[in-house]
Amino acid sequence: MPRKSRLPTATEWAHHYLATQLSTNAHLIDATAGNGHDALFLSQFILPDGHLYLFDIQEVAIQTTRSLLLSNEIPASNTSLFQCSHTELKERIPSNLHGAIDAVVFNLGYLPGQHKTLTTLSDSTLVALESSLELLKPGGILSVITYPGHATGAEEARCVTNWMKSLPSSAFEVQRLQALNRLAPPPELWIVKKS
Ligand SMILES: C[S@@+](CC[C@H](N)C(=O)[O-])C[C@H]1O[C@@H](n2cnc3c(N)ncnc32)[C@H](O)[C@@H]1O
């Protein structure tokens, strides 16, 4: 990670940890494609024979992410972009990869610059998180960032926290990283490692 005057953001921490766990030929899921920044980061680990599966409910997010990947010369044959809810994770990921995914990434909330009502919601997020655990390989990583600074995000963060706390320690390691001395509720990064 490059030397900076401030501590890393939640996203930078997530990328930093994922980079220590991923190498080449990875099979990865970005469950909230948005502007494609996480996707571009993940794409460096998929070549030559891996694959990146991307989900977002918004057409603009899918188009932006596709353009970003193509302009960075990521072959379209190594990516699949789905304009649908991440509740469809299990249906959309090929069955031969169930239990073989290296990492699933969620950057929850709404797309900066777009309408804030198009945000992730607790009920669908929890369905997708459950599916992610089934899709991961042993040793696979689930990374989730929540944004409790707005009302819907606060409720979602509360549900994600309860869900994370309920995971059996015999099957999953769970850690949370969060700034502690800020007035506004800061983003929370959750990392889950499947045993
Ligand atoms: C904070 S943005 C993601 C940022 C993105 N990862 C990036 O690197 O730019 C959250 C995204 O989640 C999407 N989203 C909301 N509900 C969703 C759902 N049920 N399934 C998939 N994506 C959803 C929104 O459209 C938005 O683009």
Asked if 88 and 125 count as a contact pair (C-beta separation under 8 A), the reply is no
pLDDT tens for residues 31-85?
999 999 999 999 999 999 999 999 999 999 999 999 999 999 999 999 999 999 9
Distance, CA 61 to ligand 1 centroid (Å)? Answer: 8
Distance, CA 107 to ligand 1 centroid (Å)? Answer: 7
Entry pTM: 0.97
Q: Is the CB of 61 under 6 A from ligand 1?
A: yes
Torsion of CA 106, 136, 79, 47, to 10 degrees: 110
Asked if 83 and 34 count as a contact pair (C-beta separation under 8 A), the reply is no
Q: Tokens for 102?
A: 């290296």
Instruction: Tokens 């409910």: give the residue.
Output: 57
Q: Is the pLDDT of residue 4 over 80?
A: no
42-58 burial string, b = 16+ CB within 10 Å, else e? bbebbeeebbbbbbbbb
Q: Is the CB of 15 under 6 A from ligand 1?
A: no
Please report the pLDDT score of residue 2 as a whole number: 64
Give the Cα separation of 83 and 92 in Å (integer): 11
HSE value, Cβ hemisphere, 13 Å, CA-based, for 88: 12
Instruction: Tokens 């502007």: give the residue.
Output: 35
Q: Is the pLDDT of residue 18 over 90?
A: yes
Q: Tokens for 77?
A: 């044959």
